[in-house]
Amino acid sequence: MSVPLPALERLEARSTEIGGGILIRRALPNRRRRTVGAWCFLDHAGPIEFDAGGGMHVGPHPHIGLQTFTWLIEGEVVHRDSLGNEQLITPGQVNLMTAGSGITHAEDSAPGSGGRLHAAQLWIALPEHERRRAPAFRNYPHLPLIERGGFSVRVLAGSACGETSPAQVYSPLIGLDVASTGRAALELPLETAFEHAALVLAGTASVAGETLTPGTLLYLGTGRETIALRTDAAARVLLIGGTPFGEEILVWWNFVARTRAEIAAATSDWNAGRYFGPVHGSPAPRLIAPDAAGLNLRPEPAAP
Ligand code: MN
């Protein structure tokens, strides 16, 4: 006798703006679901075409307790951080920044980057025993690619179909970009202990029998052995998952912590110019953290 599959939840992303007036869809945190595995934030930016001289400009801002995970589909973005890294990310690459005990970074569309941007930026909550680790940054230009059923499956994080992403993460999780150029069908094996969710980044796809377009996160629960993906035309699906994150986290502005006191300390340190290092070379102004007196209101993160 088989165990019934978990119910599907369709979660609507919210539209909001990031630096430079770029409209994004924020799928996580969601009012009804704050995490999928350790994934605790998911912004889908674009695809958009900038006006002349436009682009994304997110000025220097701090992070603690998380990793930022950027998957670039179109455009070119320069990452700068307080460790002194300056890294151009181009399509097909992942930038993974481990904030740990604290880091500052800025992200700007590269000058002359063709006026386009299409990207997903995610955050990964660090588990208790890793969340104060030393900050680090890495660009991953080469990620495993699996061709199956008419889909190109890029392994962004974790393992799938025997291939493992080199991206350094600190809890069991998965991130896949599944793209088709036309009619395609695939029954993709899943880790049954993971919970999963899917977000269409382009086109229309059938995921576990649900028709999805950009702007809706489909939560798939735990206990699935496979997932059915199908497209009739070019489409792109982001699949994320992981072991349900067993820790209560507090996500506030650009910080992931456990207590309000930690958030308040990080906020006042940042706004006073203490603790967090500077970023050099970013054309955009330093961001100011909102007043930590609003902590009990649990404001949404403001920057990617
Ligand atoms: Mn950021």
Query: What are the tens digits of pLDDT across the range 58-82?
Result: 999 999 999 999 999 999 999 999 9
Residue 18 has pLDDT above 90, yes or no: no
Distance separating alpha carbons of residues 25 and 38, to the nearest angstrom:
20
Compute, in angstroms, the gap from residue 121 CA to the centroid of ligand 1: 9
Compute, in angstroms, the gap from residue 220 CA to the centroid of ligand 1: 27
Structure tokens at 78: 């320069």
Pairing of strands 226-231, 57-63: unpaired
Residue pLDDT, tens place only, 237-282: 999 999 999 999 999 999 999 999 999 999 999 999 999 999 999 9
Structure tokens at 262: 């930690």
Cα dihedral 254→255→260→265 (10° resolution): -90
With beta carbons less than 8 A apart as the criterion, state whether 11 and 32 touch: yes
Residue 12 has pLDDT above 90, yes or no: yes
CB atoms within 10 A of CB 164: 12
Whole-Å CA distances, 203 to 151, 183, 200, 215, 235: 14, 12, 7, 11, 4
Compute, in angstroms, the gap from residue 120 CA to the centroid of ligand 1: 12
Compute, in angstroms, the gap from residue 81 CA to the centroid of ligand 1: 10
Is the CATH code 1.20.120.530 the one for domain 10-242? no
**Entry pTM:** 0.94
Residue pLDDT, tens place only, 286-296: 999 998 776 66
Q: Where are the alpha helices (DSSP H) in the chain?
A: 260-271
Going from N- to C-terminal start, the domains of the chain cover 10-242
Distance separating alpha carbons of residues 291 and 187, to the nearest angstrom:
48
With beta carbons less than 8 A apart as the criterion, state whether 34 and 42 touch: no
